[in-house]
Amino acid sequence: MVLNRVGIIGGGQLAWMLRDAATKLNIQLVVQSPNQNDPAISIANQVIVAPIADSFATKNMSQICDVITFENEFIDLPKLQNLESNGVKFYPRLNSLSPLLDKFDQRCFFQNINLPIPRFSLLENETDLHHDLGYPVVLKARRHGYDGYGTFIINNKQELTEIWHRYNSPSMLLEEFVPYQQELAIMAARNIQGEVICYPVVQTIQKDQVCRQVFVPAQIPDSLVKNVEAIAYTLLSKLEYVGVVGIELFLTEDNRVLVNEIAPRTHNSGHYTLDLCDISQFEMQLRAVTGLNLPEIKFKSSDAAMVNLLGYETSNSDYQEKRAQINAISNTYLHWYNKTESRKGRKLGHVTILGNSRQELEQKAAKIEAIWYQ
């Protein structure tokens, strides 16, 4: 049975980018989002204006949907569990999500299924400040962090004490700083029938803990690609997951792959799929959660890059002139999320560049950043 009325909890750009896939698959989208100005409001067939964690609104949404899925993880899981036990269909199932919503729980889950991860501990009291993870060390909020908000790279105990007190959270995750040679990511999907498909392993480039650029494919040996794919397969199978995930990893200086985190949804590192692939991560998400098969992916060129357009000021500008300059570069595809306000670090849009050489893509990515941030 095809489930063709899909509810989405969250109305940001990740929900907005479902538009073309929904049209192609003849799927009706209902969006639950807190703000009338959120990007996905304009593409929804029906809208429930309500906070993400408002389970009463989700209950209402369930009455007009065959299945509900997620575009962010800031949900109230126990309340949704009540709905699920009363017959509301969520894909991914809530049992698959429950080990993933909290960064500490994720780490414990990865450890239990023997995936390679950085060493970690909990910071809950003064005694925990005497950790054995060395310095620098990474301090992370357990929930509600994104785009580097809630992640701190810390150089000494004094700084750790200060930031921990300032953040004022009773429990935070501490983990060893990994001096990686590259950061990698992979998008993967599993459908209701249990089929799994992986997109290519990509290299992601972060600045101040926020993704700036993605290069496809990552320039790593085949054995490492297989290693990353095996991690994706293990994660999706162990979770009996239905939907798309983004998995972020570190490639260490001695060529080991460590899992950083898994995002239980479509992901920034997979935006290139809109332009490079015949089936984007957004279509794959809708296919997975509605009972369709996951076809083999075809590519329009051998390589691609993605550049995020991040806010660098507070403004209401729609940056038409900069967008026109970027659009004038050959083989680029600009996706503008139509947000009404720009703030520092906010994701306002992204650009995909298709090509056949890494060098050419790096040059064009640098040119796009020069236009955007000048």
**Interacting residues toward ligand ADP by CB under 6 A:** 118, 138, 140, 145-148, 151, 175, 177-178, 183, 206, 209, 248, 260-261
Nearer to ligand ADP, 54 or 369 (CB): 369
Residue 96 CB, shortest distance to ligand ADP, in Å, is: 19
Shortest reach from residue 176's CB to ligand ADP, in Å: 6
Half-sphere exposure of 125 (CA within 13 A, CB side): 1
Which residues have C-beta within 8 Å of that of residue 89, sequence separation ≥ 6? 3, 62, 66, 67, 68
Smallest separation (angstroms) from ligand ADP to the CB of 206: 4
Strand locations in the chain, DSSP E?
Answer: 5-9, 28-33, 46-49, 67-70, 120-123, 137-141, 151-154, 172-176, 180-190, 196-198, 202-207, 210-216, 243-252, 257-263, 303-310, 332-336, 347-355
In this structure, is the dihedral angle defined by the CA atoms of residues 65, 67, 73 and 74, taken in order, positive or negative? positive
In whole angstroms, what is the distance from residue 151 CA to residue 288 CA? 31
Instruction: Report in angstroms how near the CB of residue 325 gets to ligand ADP at its nearest.
Output: 29
The span from the CA of 86 to the CA of 320, in Å, is 48
190 Cβ contact partners less than 8 Å away, ≥ 6 residues apart:
196, 236, 237, 241, 242, 243, 288
Minimal distance, residue 220 CB to ligand ADP, in Å? 17
Helix (H, G, I), strand (E, B) or coil at 307: strand
Query: Could you count the other beta carbons within 10 Å of the beta carbon of residue 47?
Result: 19
Q: Identify which of 331, 325, 292 has the alpha carbon closest to the alpha carbon of residue 309.
A: 325
Bridge partners (DSSP) of residue 247 are 186, 262
- Evaluate whether 249 touches 258 at the Cβ level (below 8 Å): yes
What's the min distance (Å) between Cβ of 369 and ligand ADP?
Answer: 17
Least separation in angstroms between residue 72's CB and ligand ADP is 11
Please, what is the minimum distance in Å from the beta carbon of residue 137 to ligand ADP?
8
State the angle between helix axes of 320-327 and 358-373 in degrees (0 to 180), rounded to the nearest 10: 160
> How many whole angstroms separate alpha carbon 204 and alpha carbon 214?
4
Nearer to ligand ADP, 44 or 141 (CB): 141
